[in-house]
Amino acid sequence: MIDRRLVQHFDWVLLVGLVLLIMVGLTTLYSATSVGKVGVVSNIFYKQLSWYGVGWIVLIVVLFFDYRKSESYAYWLYVGIVLMLVGVLIAGRHVAGARRWLGLGPIAFQPSEMMKIVIILALSKFYSKRVSIHGLGIRDIWPAILMTAIPFGLILKQPDLGTGLILVLIASSMTLLARVKKGVLLALCLTGLVVLPAGWLVLKEYQRQRIVTFLSPERDPLGAGYHIIQSKIAVGSGQLVGKGFMKGTQNVLSFLPEQHTDFIFSVLAEDWGLIGSFIVLLLFLSVIVWSLNIGHQCRDAYGIFVIYGISSLFFWEVSINVAMVMGMVPVVGIPLPFVSYGGTAVLVMMTSMGLLMNISMRRFLFE
Protein backbone atom coordinates (compact mmCIF):
# COMPACT_ATOMS: atom_id res chain seq x y z
CA MET A 1 0.00 0.00 0.00
CA ILE A 2 1.15 3.45 -0.82
CA ASP A 3 0.84 5.85 2.02
CA ARG A 4 -1.57 8.60 0.98
CA ARG A 5 0.71 11.15 2.58
CA LEU A 6 3.41 10.27 0.08
CA VAL A 7 1.16 11.35 -2.78
CA GLN A 8 0.14 14.46 -0.94
CA HIS A 9 3.71 15.44 -0.35
CA PHE A 10 4.96 14.67 -3.84
CA ASP A 11 7.50 17.30 -4.86
CA TRP A 12 5.98 18.87 -7.96
CA VAL A 13 8.58 21.62 -8.01
CA LEU A 14 11.39 19.10 -8.52
CA LEU A 15 9.42 17.28 -11.16
CA VAL A 16 8.80 20.46 -13.13
CA GLY A 17 12.47 21.40 -12.75
CA LEU A 18 13.53 17.99 -13.98
CA VAL A 19 11.23 18.04 -16.99
CA LEU A 20 12.45 21.50 -17.95
CA LEU A 21 16.08 20.45 -17.59
CA ILE A 22 15.56 17.38 -19.75
CA MET A 23 13.85 19.50 -22.38
CA VAL A 24 16.71 21.96 -22.38
CA GLY A 25 19.16 19.09 -22.58
CA LEU A 26 17.50 17.30 -25.47
CA THR A 27 16.92 20.39 -27.59
CA THR A 28 20.50 21.49 -27.10
CA LEU A 29 21.82 18.04 -27.92
CA TYR A 30 19.62 18.01 -30.99
CA SER A 31 21.08 21.29 -32.10
CA ALA A 32 24.61 20.20 -31.29
CA THR A 33 24.53 16.95 -33.19
CA SER A 34 22.40 17.67 -36.20
CA VAL A 35 25.02 20.02 -37.65
CA GLY A 36 22.62 22.54 -39.05
CA LYS A 37 20.55 20.19 -41.14
CA VAL A 38 16.90 20.31 -40.16
CA GLY A 39 15.27 16.92 -40.18
CA VAL A 40 18.55 15.08 -39.86
CA VAL A 41 18.51 13.47 -36.46
CA SER A 42 21.73 12.02 -35.25
CA ASN A 43 22.24 8.64 -33.74
CA ILE A 44 23.55 10.32 -30.63
CA PHE A 45 20.28 12.16 -30.10
CA TYR A 46 18.26 8.96 -30.41
CA LYS A 47 20.60 7.18 -28.03
CA GLN A 48 20.23 9.93 -25.45
CA LEU A 49 16.47 9.86 -25.92
CA SER A 50 16.37 6.14 -25.21
CA TRP A 51 18.63 6.58 -22.19
CA TYR A 52 16.08 9.03 -20.83
CA GLY A 53 13.43 6.39 -21.45
CA VAL A 54 15.36 4.01 -19.25
CA GLY A 55 16.10 6.90 -16.89
CA TRP A 56 12.41 7.51 -16.18
CA ILE A 57 11.92 3.87 -15.28
CA VAL A 58 14.90 4.03 -12.96
CA LEU A 59 13.51 7.21 -11.40
CA ILE A 60 10.11 5.64 -10.75
CA VAL A 61 11.68 2.53 -9.25
CA VAL A 62 13.82 4.74 -7.00
CA LEU A 63 10.70 6.68 -5.92
CA PHE A 64 8.89 3.61 -4.66
CA PHE A 65 11.61 2.40 -2.36
CA ASP A 66 11.94 4.17 0.92
CA TYR A 67 15.33 5.86 0.61
CA ARG A 68 16.21 4.78 4.18
CA LYS A 69 16.50 1.23 2.92
CA SER A 70 19.36 2.29 0.67
CA GLU A 71 21.33 2.96 3.84
CA SER A 72 21.64 -0.74 4.62
CA TYR A 73 23.26 -1.65 1.31
CA ALA A 74 25.16 1.59 0.63
CA TYR A 75 28.51 -0.06 1.45
CA TRP A 76 27.78 -3.06 -0.75
CA LEU A 77 26.98 -0.78 -3.67
CA TYR A 78 30.21 1.01 -2.96
CA VAL A 79 32.24 -2.19 -3.00
CA GLY A 80 30.50 -3.29 -6.19
CA ILE A 81 31.37 -0.12 -8.05
CA VAL A 82 34.95 -0.16 -6.75
CA LEU A 83 35.28 -3.67 -8.18
CA MET A 84 33.87 -2.41 -11.47
CA LEU A 85 36.46 0.37 -11.47
CA VAL A 86 39.14 -2.25 -11.03
CA GLY A 87 37.50 -4.17 -13.86
CA VAL A 88 37.69 -1.10 -16.07
CA LEU A 89 41.43 -0.91 -15.58
CA ILE A 90 41.83 -4.58 -16.40
CA ALA A 91 39.32 -5.11 -19.17
CA GLY A 92 37.86 -1.71 -19.96
CA ARG A 93 37.30 -0.38 -23.44
CA HIS A 94 39.90 2.04 -24.72
CA VAL A 95 38.57 5.23 -26.19
CA ALA A 96 41.05 7.94 -27.16
CA GLY A 97 43.77 6.79 -24.85
CA ALA A 98 41.64 6.25 -21.76
CA ARG A 99 39.90 3.25 -20.29
CA ARG A 100 36.61 4.39 -18.84
CA TRP A 101 33.99 2.03 -20.14
CA LEU A 102 32.96 -1.45 -19.21
CA GLY A 103 31.27 -3.34 -21.97
CA LEU A 104 28.14 -5.37 -21.31
CA GLY A 105 27.24 -6.76 -24.67
CA PRO A 106 26.37 -3.83 -26.90
CA ILE A 107 26.01 -1.45 -23.96
CA ALA A 108 29.01 0.32 -22.52
CA PHE A 109 28.75 2.05 -19.19
CA GLN A 110 31.02 4.15 -17.08
CA PRO A 111 31.48 2.93 -13.51
CA SER A 112 33.22 6.20 -12.66
CA GLU A 113 29.93 8.03 -13.29
CA MET A 114 28.07 5.59 -11.03
CA MET A 115 30.65 6.17 -8.34
CA LYS A 116 29.42 9.75 -8.06
CA ILE A 117 26.10 8.65 -6.63
CA VAL A 118 27.40 5.63 -4.75
CA ILE A 119 30.02 7.61 -2.88
CA ILE A 120 27.25 9.97 -1.77
CA LEU A 121 25.25 7.05 -0.34
CA ALA A 122 28.28 5.46 1.31
CA LEU A 123 29.53 8.69 2.88
CA SER A 124 25.99 9.58 4.00
CA LYS A 125 25.73 6.29 5.81
CA PHE A 126 29.17 6.76 7.30
CA TYR A 127 28.73 10.33 8.50
CA SER A 128 25.14 9.97 9.69
CA LYS A 129 26.23 7.13 11.96
CA ARG A 130 29.13 9.00 13.38
CA VAL A 131 27.82 12.38 14.40
CA SER A 132 29.06 14.16 17.47
CA ILE A 133 28.20 17.59 18.72
CA HIS A 134 31.79 17.93 19.81
CA GLY A 135 32.95 17.46 16.24
CA LEU A 136 34.69 14.51 14.63
CA GLY A 137 38.38 13.91 15.03
CA ILE A 138 40.77 12.48 12.54
CA ARG A 139 40.34 9.03 14.06
CA ASP A 140 36.61 9.26 13.31
CA ILE A 141 36.88 10.28 9.69
CA TRP A 142 39.84 8.38 8.28
CA PRO A 143 37.58 5.63 6.86
CA ALA A 144 35.75 8.34 4.90
CA ILE A 145 39.04 9.60 3.55
CA LEU A 146 40.02 6.09 2.51
CA MET A 147 36.59 5.54 1.01
CA THR A 148 37.16 8.55 -1.23
CA ALA A 149 40.81 7.91 -1.95
CA ILE A 150 40.30 4.39 -3.34
CA PRO A 151 37.92 5.28 -6.19
CA PHE A 152 39.78 8.55 -6.72
CA GLY A 153 42.99 6.65 -7.34
CA LEU A 154 41.30 4.13 -9.62
CA ILE A 155 39.59 6.85 -11.65
CA LEU A 156 42.79 8.87 -11.90
CA LYS A 157 44.41 5.80 -13.37
CA GLN A 158 41.89 5.61 -16.24
CA PRO A 159 42.81 8.55 -16.52
CA ASP A 160 39.85 10.80 -15.82
CA LEU A 161 40.91 13.80 -13.79
CA GLY A 162 37.53 15.53 -14.08
CA THR A 163 35.48 12.74 -12.53
CA GLY A 164 38.13 12.15 -9.87
CA LEU A 165 37.97 15.82 -8.99
CA ILE A 166 34.18 15.74 -8.67
CA LEU A 167 34.44 12.81 -6.24
CA VAL A 168 36.86 14.72 -4.05
CA LEU A 169 34.70 17.85 -4.16
CA ILE A 170 31.58 15.91 -3.18
CA ALA A 171 33.41 14.17 -0.36
CA SER A 172 34.88 17.43 0.88
CA SER A 173 31.48 19.11 0.82
CA MET A 174 29.93 16.29 2.79
CA THR A 175 32.77 16.38 5.30
CA LEU A 176 32.08 20.06 5.81
CA LEU A 177 28.45 19.25 6.52
CA ALA A 178 29.43 16.72 9.15
CA ARG A 179 30.73 18.47 12.18
CA VAL A 180 34.48 18.12 12.04
CA LYS A 181 36.90 19.62 14.53
CA LYS A 182 38.53 22.80 13.28
CA GLY A 183 41.99 21.42 13.85
CA VAL A 184 41.18 18.41 11.70
CA LEU A 185 39.97 20.62 8.87
CA LEU A 186 43.15 22.62 9.03
CA ALA A 187 45.22 19.44 9.07
CA LEU A 188 43.35 18.06 6.04
CA CYS A 189 43.98 21.24 4.06
CA LEU A 190 47.66 21.19 4.98
CA THR A 191 47.95 17.51 4.05
CA GLY A 192 46.48 18.31 0.68
CA LEU A 193 49.13 20.97 0.16
CA VAL A 194 51.87 18.46 1.00
CA VAL A 195 50.47 15.50 -0.93
CA LEU A 196 50.01 17.39 -4.19
CA PRO A 197 53.71 18.11 -4.82
CA ALA A 198 54.62 14.59 -3.69
CA GLY A 199 52.18 13.15 -6.19
CA TRP A 200 53.86 15.21 -8.89
CA LEU A 201 57.11 13.34 -8.39
CA VAL A 202 55.40 9.97 -8.78
CA LEU A 203 53.82 10.83 -12.13
CA LYS A 204 55.23 9.81 -15.47
CA GLU A 205 56.43 12.51 -17.84
CA TYR A 206 53.42 12.37 -20.14
CA GLN A 207 51.08 12.53 -17.15
CA ARG A 208 52.83 15.66 -15.91
CA GLN A 209 52.51 17.12 -19.37
CA ARG A 210 48.78 16.51 -19.23
CA ILE A 211 48.47 18.23 -15.91
CA VAL A 212 50.48 21.22 -17.07
CA THR A 213 48.16 21.51 -20.05
CA PHE A 214 45.22 21.04 -17.75
CA LEU A 215 46.34 23.88 -15.53
CA SER A 216 47.23 26.29 -18.31
CA PRO A 217 45.52 25.44 -21.57
CA GLU A 218 47.05 28.44 -23.30
CA ARG A 219 50.23 26.40 -23.35
CA ASP A 220 48.46 24.04 -25.67
CA PRO A 221 47.12 26.29 -28.41
CA LEU A 222 46.54 23.26 -30.64
CA GLY A 223 44.49 21.33 -28.12
CA ALA A 224 42.77 22.71 -25.05
CA GLY A 225 43.71 26.29 -25.92
CA TYR A 226 41.98 25.97 -29.26
CA HIS A 227 38.90 24.47 -27.67
CA ILE A 228 38.63 27.39 -25.30
CA ILE A 229 39.01 30.02 -28.00
CA GLN A 230 36.34 28.34 -30.11
CA SER A 231 34.08 27.90 -27.14
CA LYS A 232 34.40 31.55 -26.11
CA ILE A 233 33.63 32.65 -29.66
CA ALA A 234 30.53 30.46 -29.64
CA VAL A 235 29.30 31.77 -26.28
CA GLY A 236 30.17 35.39 -27.02
CA SER A 237 28.65 35.46 -30.47
CA GLY A 238 25.32 34.40 -29.04
CA GLN A 239 24.97 37.95 -27.69
CA LEU A 240 21.69 38.96 -26.07
CA VAL A 241 19.11 36.80 -27.81
CA GLY A 242 21.24 34.19 -29.55
CA LYS A 243 21.40 33.10 -33.15
CA GLY A 244 18.32 30.93 -32.80
CA PHE A 245 17.76 27.21 -32.48
CA MET A 246 20.30 25.32 -34.58
CA LYS A 247 21.55 28.55 -36.10
CA GLY A 248 24.80 28.60 -34.16
CA THR A 249 27.48 28.80 -36.82
CA GLN A 250 30.37 27.80 -34.60
CA ASN A 251 28.62 24.61 -33.74
CA VAL A 252 27.26 23.96 -37.19
CA LEU A 253 30.66 24.10 -38.74
CA SER A 254 32.02 21.65 -36.22
CA PHE A 255 34.39 24.23 -34.86
CA LEU A 256 33.56 23.04 -31.44
CA PRO A 257 35.34 20.03 -30.17
CA GLU A 258 33.24 17.45 -28.41
CA GLN A 259 30.36 19.86 -28.66
CA HIS A 260 27.88 17.23 -27.54
CA THR A 261 29.67 16.31 -24.36
CA ASP A 262 31.72 18.70 -22.26
CA PHE A 263 31.30 21.80 -24.41
CA ILE A 264 27.58 21.59 -24.93
CA PHE A 265 26.85 24.73 -22.93
CA SER A 266 28.52 26.80 -25.63
CA VAL A 267 26.01 25.46 -28.16
CA LEU A 268 23.21 26.49 -25.85
CA ALA A 269 24.71 29.93 -25.30
CA GLU A 270 25.25 30.43 -29.01
CA ASP A 271 21.73 29.39 -29.96
CA TRP A 272 19.85 31.18 -27.19
CA GLY A 273 22.11 34.05 -26.18
CA LEU A 274 22.31 35.69 -22.78
CA ILE A 275 18.60 35.37 -22.14
CA GLY A 276 18.49 31.66 -22.85
CA SER A 277 21.67 30.80 -20.95
CA PHE A 278 20.60 32.94 -18.04
CA ILE A 279 17.28 31.12 -17.80
CA VAL A 280 19.04 27.75 -17.90
CA LEU A 281 21.51 28.81 -15.20
CA LEU A 282 18.60 30.02 -13.13
CA LEU A 283 16.91 26.66 -13.60
CA PHE A 284 19.98 24.84 -12.30
CA LEU A 285 20.28 27.27 -9.42
CA SER A 286 16.63 26.76 -8.49
CA VAL A 287 17.00 23.00 -8.42
CA ILE A 288 20.09 23.24 -6.21
CA VAL A 289 18.55 25.76 -3.80
CA TRP A 290 15.30 23.80 -3.71
CA SER A 291 17.21 20.64 -2.82
CA LEU A 292 19.01 22.44 -0.02
CA ASN A 293 15.58 23.55 1.13
CA ILE A 294 14.37 19.94 1.20
CA GLY A 295 17.39 19.16 3.33
CA HIS A 296 16.42 21.97 5.61
CA GLN A 297 13.11 20.28 6.32
CA CYS A 298 14.44 16.76 6.50
CA ARG A 299 14.53 15.14 9.95
CA ASP A 300 16.84 12.30 9.25
CA ALA A 301 20.60 12.63 9.22
CA TYR A 302 21.11 10.06 6.45
CA GLY A 303 18.60 11.87 4.25
CA ILE A 304 20.22 15.23 4.88
CA PHE A 305 23.61 13.88 3.85
CA VAL A 306 22.21 12.30 0.70
CA ILE A 307 20.49 15.53 -0.26
CA TYR A 308 23.57 17.51 0.47
CA GLY A 309 25.74 15.16 -1.57
CA ILE A 310 23.42 15.33 -4.56
CA SER A 311 23.13 19.10 -4.34
CA SER A 312 26.89 19.41 -4.23
CA LEU A 313 27.19 17.04 -7.20
CA PHE A 314 24.87 19.31 -9.20
CA PHE A 315 26.54 22.44 -7.95
CA TRP A 316 30.11 21.39 -8.74
CA GLU A 317 29.34 19.90 -12.11
CA VAL A 318 27.26 22.83 -13.33
CA SER A 319 29.54 25.55 -12.06
CA ILE A 320 32.80 23.94 -13.19
CA ASN A 321 31.44 22.93 -16.58
CA VAL A 322 29.95 26.33 -17.34
CA ALA A 323 33.01 28.16 -16.02
CA MET A 324 35.23 25.93 -18.16
CA VAL A 325 33.23 26.56 -21.31
CA MET A 326 33.56 30.29 -20.72
CA GLY A 327 37.29 30.07 -20.15
CA MET A 328 37.17 30.86 -16.42
CA VAL A 329 38.73 27.61 -15.22
CA PRO A 330 40.97 25.02 -16.89
CA VAL A 331 39.46 22.50 -19.26
CA VAL A 332 38.60 19.29 -17.41
CA GLY A 333 36.30 16.55 -18.48
CA ILE A 334 33.19 17.34 -16.47
CA PRO A 335 29.78 16.99 -18.12
CA LEU A 336 26.85 19.38 -17.75
CA PRO A 337 24.12 17.49 -15.89
CA PHE A 338 21.06 16.58 -18.02
CA VAL A 339 22.54 18.28 -21.07
CA SER A 340 25.81 16.60 -21.99
CA TYR A 341 25.56 13.38 -23.94
CA GLY A 342 26.22 10.21 -21.97
CA GLY A 343 24.17 7.17 -21.06
CA THR A 344 25.58 6.43 -17.64
CA ALA A 345 25.46 10.12 -16.74
CA VAL A 346 21.76 10.25 -17.63
CA LEU A 347 21.01 7.28 -15.41
CA VAL A 348 23.02 8.78 -12.55
CA MET A 349 21.20 12.11 -12.88
CA MET A 350 17.78 10.42 -12.98
CA THR A 351 18.69 8.33 -9.93
CA SER A 352 19.81 11.48 -8.11
CA MET A 353 16.58 13.23 -8.95
CA GLY A 354 14.61 10.17 -7.91
CA LEU A 355 16.39 10.16 -4.56
CA LEU A 356 15.72 13.86 -4.03
CA MET A 357 12.00 13.40 -4.72
CA ASN A 358 11.97 10.27 -2.60
CA ILE A 359 13.40 12.09 0.41
CA SER A 360 11.28 15.13 -0.26
CA MET A 361 7.99 13.23 -0.14
CA ARG A 362 8.98 11.30 2.95
CA ARG A 363 10.31 14.21 4.94
CA PHE A 364 7.01 14.62 6.81
CA LEU A 365 6.75 11.00 7.82
CA PHE A 366 8.73 11.73 10.93
CA GLU A 367 6.13 14.04 12.32
Residue 153: CA atoms inside 13 Å, Cβ hemisphere, count?
11
Q: Which is nearer to other proteins, 147 or 228 (CB)?
A: 228
Q: Cβ contacts of residue 71 below 8 Å, gap of 6+?
A: 121, 124, 125, 128, 302
The reply on whether position 262 binds other proteins by CB under 8 A is: no
Among 45, 255, 263, 341, binds other proteins (CB under 8 A): 255
Contact between 64 and other proteins by CB under 8 A: the answer reads no
28 binds other proteins per the rule CB under 8 A = no
Q: Which of 177, 313, 345, 347 binds other proteins (CB under 8 A)?
A: 177
Q: Determine, following the binding rule CB under 8 A, whether residue 103 of this chain makes contact with other proteins.
A: no
Nearest CA among 321, 322, 330, 310 for reference residue 116: 310
How far apart CA 251 and CA 265 sit, in angstroms, is 11
When asked if residue 65 is in the footprint of other proteins (CB under 8 A), the reply is no
Letter string b/e over residues 77-91, b meaning 16 or more CB atoms within 10 A of that residue's CB: bbeebbebbbebeee
User: Which segment (103-111, 184-192, 323-331, 338-346) binds other proteins by CB under 8 A?
Assistant: 323-331
Phi, psi of 100 (to 5 degrees): -130, -15
Ranges of H-type helices in 68-110: 70-91
Scan residues 110-129 and list those touching other proteins (CB under 8 A).
Answer: 128
**Helix or strand holding residue 25 (H, E):** helix 12-33
Q: Is 240 in the site for other proteins (CB under 8 A)?
A: yes
Please count the other Cβ atoms lying within 10 Å of the Cβ belonging to residue 336: 26
Candidates 1, 2, 69, 94: give the one binding other proteins (CB under 8 A). Answer: 94
CB 38 within 8 A of CB 246: yes
Q: Which of 250, 340, 344, 360 binds other proteins (CB under 8 A)?
A: 250
By CB under 8 A, residue 256 contacts other proteins = no
How far is it, in rounded angstroms, from Cα 21 to Cα 63?
Answer: 19
Q: Is 212 a binder of other proteins (CB under 8 A)?
A: no
CB of 176 to other proteins, least distance (A): 7
Output the CA–CA distances (angstroms, integers) from residue 21 to 170, 230, 231, 331, in the order listed. Answer: 22, 25, 22, 24
Minimum separation from the CB atom of position 23 to other proteins (A): 20
Q: Is residue 2 close enough to count as binding other proteins by CB under 8 A?
A: no
269 makes contact with other proteins (CB under 8 A): yes
The answer to whether the Cα torsion of 292, 296, 297, 303 is positive or negative is positive
Residue span binding other proteins (CB under 8 A) among the ranges 46-54, 71-79, 184-192, 322-330: 322-330
CA 88 to CA 35: how far, in whole Å? 33
Q: Is 40 in the site for other proteins (CB under 8 A)?
A: no
Contact partners, residue 173, CB within 8 Å, separation at least 6: 308, 309, 312, 316
The one among 148, 311, 340, 352 contacting other proteins by CB under 8 A: 311
Mark the segment that binds other proteins (CB under 8 A) among 40-48, 53-61, 137-145, 291-299.
291-299
The verdict on 140 binding other proteins (CB under 8 A) reads: no
| Smallest distance, other proteins to C-beta of residue 225, A | 7
Amino acid at 237: S
Among 46, 56, 200, 366, binds other proteins (CB under 8 A): 366
Interface ranges with other proteins (CB under 8 A):
94, 97, 128, 131-134, 173, 176-177, 179, 206, 221-222, 225-226, 229-230, 232-240, 249-250, 253-255, 269-270, 273-274, 277-278, 281, 284-285, 288-289, 292, 295-296, 299-301, 304, 308, 311-312, 315, 319, 322-323, 326, 328, 366
